[in-house]
A and B are shown apart, each in its own frame.
Chain A
Amino acid sequence: MIIRFLQRHREASVALIIVFLFAILGLVDRSYLSFDTVLLVYGNSLILFVLAIGATMVMATHGLDVSVGSIMGLAAVVAGLLMNAGWGIPASIGVALLIGLLCGLFNGALVSLLNVSAIVATLGTLGLYRGLVHLLSGGAWIEGLPENFKALTKAGSLGLSPVAWLVLVLLIVAHLCLRYTAFGRAMFAVGDNREGARLIGIRVNEVQIAAYGLNGLLSALAGVIFASQIGFIPNTAGTGMEMRAIASSVLGGVSLLGGTGTVLGAALGAYFMTSIDSILVLLRLEAYWNDIIAGAILLVVLITDGKIREAVDHHLRYQKYRKFIDPQAAGQHADAAKAAARPLNTTLETSEARK
């Protein structure tokens, strides 16, 4: 019963793990267990939230984008250079987002129009965009960003910064869009069955390119948030974020094979990835334990999930063919049916026992 519920709501299992993490924190020191801690982790995971939304869209179309870290860096550098050149903050951010959108559309065109496999295409653009970062910045850090820009991520009303409110709105809008609008459903349809989606009248290529384009736009936003949070822009801004974004989404139940997943799940995954970080700091453990714990939990979740899915498949197959292998229903052929059913029954029993 519980397993069935967790299977249907993958988000719930991540939520459980997060609650568990906070429970450990509470056991160590009651005073940490406050709304402030929750907000602190939320503030630290803004970048990953934004990236996870994009990753969910791309993965829904059975794609993958490993270039998001480089797009982040590129957008941050563009915004930084323009601001230091005297441009207004909104204009600089606008141009940075536009660059991100173009990068994403280029990825989408490679994948969808030229039929290059997603991982190979974005692997190439990962290097390409990172090189552009170095070309633009000339290899130097960009410093001296305007104070008003940094203030965008300083805590404001109700303990949340303006950007944090924006991300919250984005999460809700993206979740609703992907679940309830035609465009959102089209992405999942393309990922689940590309040819089938084409036959029911979905513009497959456009949907795919749009998913990559939006992902590029969101990555650029993540880059801008990054620049605002740390106040300067190193050349390595965003490296390695692609793996964290993909891991967050996968943890939250978005399938790399396309067609399933929710933004809510991906966001919870992202929240979990960050909460390990923050909680280790609060527990006064060295930060280097982070990756090994994240990796171990990721693997445990993935392997259990795979096992549960296998068991559910077995169960469904059993329901489908039960009338053929049930001795009562089979009537006079009972003996033959029983003999035939034996191998299937034993596998079913083991899978039931495992549950």
Chain B
Amino acid sequence: MRLHPALKRWESVLALLLIAEILLFGAINPVFLQPSMLLYATSDFIHIGITALALTLVIITGGIDLSLGSVMGLSAITLGILWVDGVDIWGAAVAALAVGTLGGVFNAVAIHLSKVNPLVITLGTGFLYGGAALVLSGLAGATGYEGISNFDPAFVNLANLQVVGLPLPFALFLALTVGFMALLHRTRFGRYVYLIGQNPRAAAYAGTPVFRTLVVAYALTSLMAALSGLILASYFGSARSDFGTTALMPAITAVVLGGTSIYGGSGTILGTALAALLVGYLQTGLQLVGVSSHVSSALSGGLLVIVVALRSLSEMGRVWFQHRRVLRNVAAE
């Protein structure tokens, strides 16, 4: 039996897994199948999805960004500080996004200048931005993890706003998914991203603007992280410096589960988006069934290990079968 090529794609497997997961939780607890439940549950994890979309670009270039969690906290705190100082909430939001973008540009410049592994550089800038967020909140007197609250009601209501029947953060996620798909799969910039991930040296010799492409990829990741920080601030009604600390690992999980190679060079936005939903709904579903949130995070960790190990095993199996077929053909001659 030959499968249709579209069904062989990793994204189809993810989509099937997602449907199976929703049906399974629905069978245990019918509340889970209500559309409003399915839609509003996304608000708990959609910030991870939004960040993961942009992180896909960085990982395809063969890099990684460990500082995005810190950027989330930094942008939320920037918003809070400016709001406390009497800046208009929308002006403060724009400033917070700008700070986030600058962080991304700095990441790319530092990586380019030092020629050091992105993992190490963003580990350092992660400390730097997280530290900056702590210092800012400390100087503002919001020490510890109390945070800054009492935002403009218009801003706090934003996270619960409806757009064509969808909660705003989820609608934003869908729009960004389409946007990033167009950017990565339909533009010259997108092809450069893949080329750099496949072979940076060949990309440089071919005249690809490597530095510029990296700056844009890292800046977009930080921008999306900053946006996620604002979404969280709006959703919780307060800004804290430790917002993003738990978001980094799930975001990387979503990208890798979505089929992007951690070594760079391959991956799709759709895969990341589906994987983000898959992991997010797994957490929500397990909590609804009565499993504590900590155990559910263990299960999503387990899911990552199993899926990646199975993919690796199937790859090893494929190579083995290929070798055997070649050997048999040789023996037959």
Contacts and interface: CB of A to CB of B under 8 A. Distances in A.
Interface stretch (A110-118, A154-162, A201-209, A210-218): A110-118
Contacts of A235: 294
Contacts of B295: 131, 134-135
Given A116-B312, A117-B263, A307-B114, A292 B298 contact: no
Interface in A276-302: 286, 288-296, 298-299, 302
Interface in B125-173: 125-132, 134-135, 137-138, 143
Contacts of B316: 115
Contacts of A24: none
A250 interface: yes
Given A124-B302, A126-B249, A257-B117, A295 B124 contact: yes
Contacts of B299: 131
Contacts of B296: 131
Nearest to B298: A131
B301 A288 contact: no
A130 interface: yes
Interface stretch (A164-172, A240-248, A322-330): A240-248
Contacts of A307: 113-114
A125 B302 CA distance: 7
Interface string B103-129: 000000010011111011101111111
A256 B127 contact: no
Interface in B285-327: 292, 294-305, 308-309, 312-313, 315-316
A264 B127 CA distance: 23
B252 interface: yes
B77 to A, nearest CB: 11
A256 B119 contact: yes
| A130, A133, A288 pick with most chain B CB within 10 angstroms | A288
B198 interface: no
| B113, B129, B143, B304 pick with most chain A CB within 10 angstroms | B304
A219 B127 CA distance: 22
Query: Size band of the A side of the interface?
Result: 35 or more
| A119, A131, A134 pick with most chain B CB within 10 angstroms | A131
Contacts of A116: 305, 308-309, 312
Nearest to A235: B294
A25 interface: no
A293 B131 contact: yes
Nearest to A301: B124
A304 B80 CA distance: 35
A196 interface: no
A324 B117 CA distance: 33
A250 B120 contact: yes
Contacts of B312: 114-116
B125 A127 contact: no
A247 B131 CA distance: 15
Given A131-B294, A240-B245, A120 B117 contact: no
Contact of A117 (B121, B137, B262): B262
Contacts of A130: 294, 297-298, 301
Contacts of A115: 312, 315-316
Nearest to B138: A288
Interface in A245-266: 246-247, 250, 256-257
| B115, B119, B128 pick with most chain A CB within 10 angstroms | B128
A306 B297 contact: no
B174 to A, nearest CB: 26
Given A235-B294, A288-B134, A294-B127, A127 B120 contact: no
Contacts of A125: 301, 305
B181 to A, nearest CB: 23
A126 B143 CA distance: 29
A290 B305 contact: no
Contact of B256 (A120, A128, A292): A120
Nearest to B299: A131
A131 to B, nearest CB: 2
Contacts of B126: 243, 295
A139 interface: yes
Nearest 3 Cβ contacts at the A-B interface: A131-B298, A127-B301, A292-B131
Interface of B: 64, 66, 110, 113-117, 119-121, 123-132, 134-135, 137-138, 143, 245, 249, 252-253, 256, 262-263, 292, 294-305, 308-309, 312-313, 315-316
